[in-house]
Structure 1
Amino acid sequence: MSSLRNRLFVALLRKSPATKVVWDENTSVAAFRQSCEEGAKRFGKIPDDLTVSPVSIEGIAAEWLRSSGAPRDKVILFCHGGGYVSGSCADHRVHAAKVVRGSGIAALLFEYRLAPEHPYPAAIEDSVTVYRWLLNQGTAASDIVIAGDSAGGGLCLATLLALRDRGLPLPAAAVAVSPWTDLKCSGASYRTNAGVCLSPKNSWTIFSQYYVAGNDPALPYISPLYGELGGLPPLLIYAGGDEILLDDAVRFAEKATQAGVDVSLQVVEGMMHCFPFLPPVIPEAKAAMKEICAFIRKHLIEKDSLVKS
């Protein structure tokens, strides 16, 4: 059973009209995007000690999020979530800020093109473009951790496959929070957790249709669960026990482990989708964020200390 604070928080969220929406092809994507942006304006204030610096990367809107003491040569490349149909730097800035403050490492957020206007392969091509830009700017691959939540977590993992297959150097590690790895939506948790997950009903099926757009949903760059996973860097994967995407995380972690990848999978009972980004008054979220930040520091900061010693 999860903490009392989490249970109370979930009970409040269940009263929200957003959790009662049932998605179909007539549901307005524009209205969904607007609601995400409005939510970010209400709850998305970042700490005063962090700075936001916009940057354009080959036509892709992006921004740096830094603390004053962040090393200039280390980067968290942050892939925002939103089901591949929504999301922006603005509405995920508060998520990235938690990681920046906890790790002391700067984050680079970017706005990949969204479906249905820009279906696959737009998102992954943009992700690879931004990663390649970092390399061209002189950032070593070993000084990058790629991270993401939800669809951004899946994009993070798919990007690793694309980088490996294109012969580009891989980042030091990756963090995937509640990653969407199976756009066939075939895991048992799509059914067993449907009654407890707070995601709008049928949303994942519709999001998949918009992003896949007639392609095979089992293509590895769409659904990294179906890819060859050997040779990937160390992975930290988080999932909530009550979320629909639980099996996406568990099955990917199991397959990656079988392929020889160093994987740490953390499934926390009673927790929702992307719970590590909940307010730190929720003890499970606070503990998860602490581990995420420690993992990032281990692969970007502590590895330098080991080399010097």
Structure 2
Amino acid sequence: MNKIVFQGRWSHRLRSLATAGAVAVRVATRRLLGRRRVESWSFLFEYGTLYIRAQFNHAFRLKADISASRAYFDSFYSVFDTYPDVEVRASGVGEPRGHWFIPAVRHSDATLLHFHGGGYTFHAGVSRHFARILAHSLGVVVFAPDYRLTPEHPHPAQLEDGLAAYRYLLERGVAPRRLVLCGDSAGGHLALMTLSHLARAGLPTPLLTLGISPWTDIGRRGASQFGNDPYDLVQGYMTLQFAEWLKGGQDVSDAELSPIHQDYRGLGPIYLQAGGREILVDMIRDFAATVAEQGGPVRLDVWPDMNHEFHGYGDQLAESRAALDRLRAAIAWAAQPTRPFAADALTECDTLSLAARDAQRPPRHGTGGREQGAGRRGVAARPASSVPNS
């Protein structure tokens, strides 16, 4: 069941409605003339990309009043399926502020700690829908904290909130072997930064970390950051502004706040997904290569014609269905590395296969029943455990 949201100031609503109409006419006209943005894109995907981009661009024109900017972006949007099988519950007293997403059918006893995207500045209504998609498609309980936003709360507020949410789930009774870190876009940045800071916070490593179109370098990196502007719903200039808001005028380097410059040795498997048409794809490729060079188990799958966070189309798009299926398969694989999770034509980087082969080898004498290579890569088989009652 589709849902249309039309809310807030009438000036915002009417401008958004006019933008939607103008984009629809422009896309239809171009396609009639044989000028599709990307040949494989459907009308719906091309329209959605250009409409969201137009909304983001105008929201940035309002950045002097960040509340107005957020309100404008949320004034008119639609979601394709409300997933009524997923129960949504606000966090209670004593819990980090956020929401639980509990699917009727569970494929795993894992709990997903998911950080939403939005450049650390926006927490749009579509973010909760994205968490709903993850709960439904992955068949796991999802906790999505409402971490503090920039520019009101620059670094380290988001990292503090990420670590606090992780610590809370452990205290609640979620075992590390059943805890999956996840994030999309800036939320992917937060998931990877949280992962890199676990040891110094005295916290254990999760079962798996998932990065969905993650922002891996807050500086300038790769030709795609600006070269893919015509094909993406976010633009290269936005990443630089988000970075400035994250730093908040503090004397802190880009490297200090970028996952690509962190050490991921011994922190468990990382599975990344990206679209070949998104602005972040080159930095995501570089990040995957960096983790692989560190000896970490990492895999990157890239859908060539897709753009940023194409997963948001849920069941409505073949590529998003396939990507979500792979996220579910990655969780199953991490819980039992002997399960198949083979690389294919979409896979651009893969050291997870090495970890899986290690897990299948017989144990060496004197290793306590665990093969040394698998332990070094952090993906030894983990026993199942029950999810705490939500």
Same fold at TM > 0.5: yes
Whose relative contact order is higher, 1 or 2, with alpha carbons under 8 Å and at least 6 apart?
A: 1
- Using the TM superposition, give the Cα deviation of residue 28 of structure 1 relative to its aligned residue in structure 2, in angstroms: 3.9
How many residue pairs are counted as aligned between the two chains? Answer: 305
1:102 alignment partner, SS class: helix
Q: d(CA) in 2 for partners of 1:284 and 1:46?
A: 19
**Contact 1:24–1:203 at 8 Å: present in 2 too?**
no
**Contact 1:36–1:87 at 8 Å: present in 2 too?**
no
Pair 306,157 (structure 1): closer, same or farther in 2 beyond 3 Å? closer
Question: Residue in 1 aligned with 2:98?
Answer: 62
- Using the TM superposition, give the Cα deviation of residue 27 of structure 1 relative to its aligned residue in structure 2, in angstroms: 4.9
Q: d(CA) in 1 for partners of 2:302 and 2:108?
A: 33
Give the counterpart letter for 1:138 in structure 2.
G
1:270 to 296, 305, 310: 305
1:144 to 179, 189, 192: 179
Structure 2: gaps of 5 or more residues = 1-35, 340-380, 385-390
Question: Residue in 2 aligned with 1:121?
Answer: 156
Bigger drift between 273-282 and 243-252 goes to: 273-282
Pair 34,301 (structure 1): closer, same or farther in 2 beyond 3 Å? farther
Q: d(CA) in 1 for partners of 2:281 and 2:238?
A: 16
Q: d(CA) in 2 for partners of 1:57 and 1:180?
A: 32
Give the counterpart letter for 1:233 in structure 2.
G
1:289 to 324, 329, 339: 324
- Using the TM superposition, give the Cα deviation of residue 295 of structure 1 relative to its aligned residue in structure 2, in angstroms: 1.2
Give the counterpart letter for 2:300 in structure 1.
L
**Contact 2:37–2:46 at 8 Å: present in 1 too?**
no
**Contact 2:121–2:242 at 8 Å: present in 1 too?**
yes
**Contact 1:150–1:177 at 8 Å: present in 2 too?**
yes
Question: Residue in 2 aligned with 1:182?
Answer: 217
Question: Residue in 2 aligned with 1:29?
Answer: 66
Question: Residue in 2 aligned with 1:226?
Answer: 261
**Contact 2:133–2:314 at 8 Å: present in 1 too?**
no
1:158 alignment partner, SS class: helix
Bigger drift between 45-54 and 224-233 goes to: 45-54
- Using the TM superposition, give the Cα deviation of residue 194 of structure 1 relative to its aligned residue in structure 2, in angstroms: 2.6
- Using the TM superposition, give the Cα deviation of residue 94 of structure 1 relative to its aligned residue in structure 2, in angstroms: 1.6
Q: d(CA) in 1 for partners of 2:169 and 2:107?
A: 15
Pair 201,2 (structure 1): closer, same or farther in 2 beyond 3 Å? closer
- Using the TM superposition, give the Cα deviation of residue 48 of structure 1 relative to its aligned residue in structure 2, in angstroms: 1.6
2:332 alignment partner, SS class: helix
**Contact 1:2–1:269 at 8 Å: present in 2 too?**
no
Cα distance per residue 1:32-67 (max 9 Å; x no partner): 322444456x32763222111211475731111102
Q: d(CA) in 2 for partners of 1:13 and 1:297?
A: 32
Bigger drift between 160-169 and 11-20 goes to: 11-20
User: For 1:173-252, what aligned pairs fall within 5 Å after superposition?
Assistant: 173-200=208-235, 202-213=237-248, 214-220=250-256, 222-252=257-287
- Using the TM superposition, give the Cα deviation of residue 140 of structure 1 relative to its aligned residue in structure 2, in angstroms: 0.6
**Contact 2:88–2:100 at 8 Å: present in 1 too?**
yes
**Contact 2:177–2:382 at 8 Å: present in 1 too?**
no
1:87 alignment partner, SS class: coil
Superposition RMSD on alpha carbons, in Å? 2.9
**Contact 1:145–1:300 at 8 Å: present in 2 too?**
no
2:322 alignment partner, SS class: helix
Q: d(CA) in 2 for partners of 1:143 and 1:149?
A: 20
Structure having the higher Rg: 2
**Contact 1:23–1:206 at 8 Å: present in 2 too?**
no
Question: Residue in 2 aligned with 1:105?
Answer: 140
Bigger drift between 291-300 and 139-148 goes to: 291-300
Pair 300,39 (structure 1): closer, same or farther in 2 beyond 3 Å? farther
Question: Residue in 1 aligned with 2:296?
Answer: 261
- Using the TM superposition, give the Cα deviation of residue 20 of structure 1 relative to its aligned residue in structure 2, in angstroms: 4.9
User: For 1:143-182, what aligned pairs fall within 5 Å after superposition?
Assistant: 143-182=178-217
TM-score by length of 2: 0.70
Structure 1: gaps of 5 or more residues = none
TM-score by length of 1: 0.87
Cα distance per residue 1:62-87 (max 9 Å; x no partner): 11110234489631001000001111
1:74 paired to 2:125: no
**Contact 2:335–2:383 at 8 Å: present in 1 too?**
no
